[in-house]
Structure 1
Amino acid sequence: MNIKIDIVSDVACPWCYVGKSRLEKALAMVPEINADITWQPFQLDPTVPKEGRDLKPYYEAKFGSAEKVQQIFEHMESVGDAEGIAFDFSKMERTMNTLPLHVLMLEAEKEGFKAKLKERFFKAYFEEATDLSKTENIVKIVAEFDWSAEKVNGILENTGMLEEVKAKISYFQSRGVSAVPFFIFNEKYGISGAQPPQVLADTLRQIQQEMAAETSIAAGERCDVESGECL
């Protein structure tokens, strides 16, 4: 049975990286379910300038103190260890405006590797401490997918694609998404946050049961051509 899953997320969101890992574990728990996953764009902070910001002062201003930020970093690194994610905030120096990354992923979606590029951006930012505010660093990453610098620059200069991404973000905001990750199942059920794999697996099973019940009801509202019986 196929279940459509839209994951609203941002590359600058560590919990989105964790959520990806936990969803993969949940899907392994329900092998009978086929998931049609689409990564959807979101920006946690669209006010970050194009050139990015120094990461630690940015977080200190947001959370109130260097001590609080250090606690958050240590907690995320502990969570990451359990998920096989090597968060290393001590090496990270810059945060970025993620809109250009979403534009590149929009094109990658058309070419069939959006999920792989999404994960590569996560890894580059959170594990390799790559400054993704610099186009030259982005070019190096997408070169792994055989994109040239000229192609990258052409995509980033495409105002139509930029507006398409902004429209998608506005759409999910209009549906009440204010925190990420946010999982939407079959465009009907929503779960906020990087929930444990068991919670996600149970949700998938419940949706599967409801879909099966709906299919059963629909199958009963018919007449058989050969026998003439209406069931």
Structure 2
Amino acid sequence: MTGQQSLSIDVVSDVVCPWCYVGKKRLEAAIALTPDVAVEVRWRPFQLDATMPAGGMDRKQYMMSKFGDEKRIDQAHANLTAMGAAEGIAFDFDAIKVAPNTLDAHRVIRWAASSGLDVQGRLVTELFSRYFERGENIGDPRVLVSAADAAGMDAAVVEAMLATDADRNEVSGEVATASRMGISGVPCFLLESKYAVMGAQEASALADAIRQVATAKASGDI
């Protein structure tokens, strides 16, 4: 479309964050509500717990150590399950056995961008779904290779790169940068690298932000 407005959105997210999965669905709905704006989405790494052991932990044990109250955990899961259902997400928290370290997942997400942002977006969805809806351990290299293959990446290349330290420092550096920027919770949507929308906002609120920033960009105000 001639004269179509454009906008870039960097989503700072962790693939073990249920709110980030909800946020992805709502962002997709917001983009559908703003067909006059060409939105380019990139996924940036964040780790809710960078101290997680490389092999992960028993999730139930981890949740109890973090929140200390089984009833509180059950209520949070029930609330998220209801919220997810409204967004087309079938959360199955009982299926999740391992709380993984997500550094390797973020490495693969980083590599996916070189195959196209659409591939990166598919991979992020695949990882969210495998973890939250199927209970798969997304810290397991075999699961990551399978997810990469499903998203359209070269599985053999991903498998070979995961066996190395490729981009470990770069991903950790991006996570540290997010912290220095004051990002302490995710999802965080960075519009044109200037305006931040925090949390899994409703699609209508995200759509309003997209329109406002795209209009400001088109008029040269930013």
TM-score (norm. length: structure 1): 0.88
1:90 to partner: Cα distance: 1.4
1:16 to partner: Cα distance: 0.5
Return 25-34 or 136-145, whichever deviates more: 136-145
Q: C-alpha distance in 1, partners of 2:137/2:214?
A: 41
Q: Of residues 170, 173, 194 in structure 1, which corresponds to 2:200?
A: 194
Q: Of residues 98, 122, 125 in structure 1, which corresponds to 2:102?
A: 98
Is 1:53 equivalent to 2:53 in the alignment? no
Identity rate of aligned residues, in percent?
36
Structure with the greater alpha carbon radius of gyration = 1
Q: C-alpha distance in 2, partners of 1:146/1:110?
A: 10
TM-score (norm. length: structure 2): 0.91
Secondary structure in 2 matching 1:90: helix
1:173 to partner: Cα distance: 1.5
Is 1:43 equivalent to 2:47 in the alignment? yes
Q: 1:76 is matched with which residue? A: 80
Extract unaligned runs of 5+ from structure 1: 219-231
Q: 2:140 is matched with which residue? A: 134
Is 1:18 equivalent to 2:22 in the alignment? yes
Q: 1:63 is matched with which residue? A: 67
Is 1:9 equivalent to 2:5 in the alignment? no
Q: C-alpha distance in 2, partners of 1:32/1:153?
A: 39
Q: C-alpha distance in 2, partners of 1:90/1:121?
A: 17
Q: 1:183-223 deviations in whole A, cap 9, x for unaligned?
A: 000111001100001111111121123223327xx9xxxxx
Q: C-alpha distance in 2, partners of 1:209/1:91?
A: 44
Residues 28 and 153 of structure 1: is their aligned pair in 2 closer, same or farther, counting only changes over 3 Å? closer
1:111 to partner: Cα distance: 1.6
Q: 1:147 is matched with which residue? A: 154
1:103–1:155 Cα contact (<8 Å) kept: no
Q: C-alpha distance in 1, partners of 2:53/2:120?
A: 24
Extract unaligned runs of 5+ from structure 2: none
2:141–2:162 Cα contact (<8 Å) kept: no
Q: How does 1:161-172 map to 2 (within 5 A)?
A: 161-172=167-178
CA RMSD of aligned residues (A): 1.7
1:42 to partner: Cα distance: 0.6
1:67 to partner: Cα distance: 0.7
How many residues are matched?
Answer: 215
Q: 1:71-127 deviations in whole A, cap 9, x for unaligned?
A: 111111001000000001011111100000111111111122111111100010001
Return 77-86 or 128-137, whichever deviates more: 128-137
Q: C-alpha distance in 1, partners of 2:211/2:113?
A: 27
Q: C-alpha distance in 1, partners of 2:67/2:196?
A: 28
Q: C-alpha distance in 2, partners of 1:176/1:141?
A: 31
1:53–1:96 Cα contact (<8 Å) kept: yes
